[in-house]
Structure 1
Amino acid sequence: MTRNQTFFLNIGWRTLLKDMGIRPEHVLRRAGLPEDTLSRVGDGLSTEAYFRFWRSLEAEAGHPLFPLKIVESVSTELFDPPLFAALCSANLLQAVQRLAKYKQLMAPMSLEVAVGSHGEMTISPRWLFAQHDVPHSLLVAELAFFIRLARLATREPVNALALTLPELPPTPHLRHVEAFFGGTITQGHPGITFSSTDALRPFLTVNEGMWRVFEPELRRRLSELDATATTGERVQAVLLELIPGNAASIDAVAVRLGMSRRTLQRRLEEEGESFRALINRTREKLARHYLQNSALSGSEIAFLLGFEDPNSFYRAFHEWTGQTPDSARQAHLFPGG
């Protein structure tokens, strides 16, 4: 699947750096970047150049806590497309899923999202062209953003359940960083974990009406970026969002993909696919995920998959897998047993 190859720096960085008392031209000169980098439209930075930009920021700021100051400047008044998409969400889990989907529009990186057995959610940023030597300040800023997002949207003092970084902040500042995140920092692959309570805590900023107005443009850009994806792959990506809301009709998917129902059916037929088969495969994939990574009951999973009653889900799951949901969950818990 084609992905964005560059990082984009919007003009908002000029205001941000001025508020921090940092001169943009000094940062860009130190990083070996053109002085008009922050005012270009359509041009992005390679991973290596973007990392140089952040290391230059570290040097110019001269303080290990500056990434937290950057994140604290994020507000609901800032109209940034990814932030807006996240704030319109119902909760942090949905916000992160949306951010993970659209992250590829902005940068050659991804967000890996995992849900644990107790419903806790772990978010891990991954850089597609460099997993090592990522500037420490950039890692801190990426993870701190999710804390800031949760607190902004819920107006609650949400804290991290766990936080890992490849290296700990300097000892004199470690306590301040831990205070911001609300927990102890350990060494490991970068990631931040939220409790199930915080992952599902309602966002006060939820606005499905505005999201429906704003989403088509994001989806258009995503479809342009994913020009190499098959129609079947694009349909499954949309179904992952529609199924939990019991809105997974072929007409709804066609609208999301910007084509007519007839065109969608024709393209699927050309690929040897059918909409019904894609729905069943996507439902099976989601069912297995819920059974293996959560403590949700069969009834709750049936609801999330859009079934009218649990028995319909049980019958469908058995048709897909030859197992009952309970036996599939037990097989995962006790492999080889």
Structure 2
Amino acid sequence: MDNRGPASMKASLQPLMDLVKKDLDQTNEIILDRMHSDVALIPTLARHLIAAGGKRLRPVLTLGAAKLCGYHGDRAQKLAACVEFIHTATLLHDDVVDESDLRRGNETANVLWGNQASVLVGDFLFSRSFQLMVEDGSLEVLRILSTASAVIAEGEVLQLMNVGDINISEESYLDVITSKTAALFAAACEVGAVVAERPAAEARALSGYGNNLGIAFQLIDDALDYSAEQKALGKTIGDDFREGKVTLPVLIAYKNGTAEERQFWKRVIEDNQQEGDLEAALEIIQAHDALEGTFKLAREYGAAAKADLDIFPDGPEKSALVSAIDFAIERAF
């Protein structure tokens, strides 16, 4: 069965990366400068995570949104660094909460330096992000990014409350990913309109674009945790399963499962896991097309993100932001 969406298999983030390359270079310089501290462990630990890779998607969205709105100043670069610090701080805290050992194939900071150091350096990066907000001087920027920071924390707590509960609703699951992932995507995009002093309607449109893109992005991430494609690429699968997190593929498989399968899910999520359970979970998920169901919902959010951009004129900036949607979804295939 071909699960590909309407976008090409060659969907890429490269058009957006090319569009903001110069600004992103400046943002990276700001990141390196602002994570410096006389307390040597702070830049060492922060550099470990920031240098580990990733596509800097959230700051790239800030820079791309600003360009879409015709902004040519230097405020966007600082705010893009601010967004990356918020994101990095949440990763440090998440790895402690989830007791994670690996991130992007590398040992996590909490494994190398311990939980206490990871939490405290995460706090440092949050503080740096607020310093950058204050330096920008816009109360609207401060409102957007500080609100997003609070919402992310709420989402993480809600997810923690849901761990081990197979009976959570799809609505509750979507509330979690909207808060813990999409909120920062939305804020990252919205501030691009604010620094360009664009009308409120454009700021709302970019916030909506970021929100819908963020949900689609997280849906694909949650599907990939059970994907054979991930395994074939040598990437770890089943992390969410082992942590007892109930994501959409599990919800779909549980809802459509037999009585025996539902009993299986209750045991592995709420009680205990045994050797071979992950393989059994993968078979059940495949039997009920739970990954395809997750991909389908991601495509719907992707289409909504594209519709959010209708307010803007066609051009290379808009096209690059559309390509980011296709990339977020098509990376699953």
Normalized against structure 2, the TM-score is what? 0.28
Higher helix share: 2
Which one has a bigger Cα radius of gyration?
A: 1
**Greater relative CO (CA pairs within 8 A, separation 6+):** 2
> TM-score if structure 1 supplies the norm length?
0.28
Q: Which has the higher strand share?
A: 1
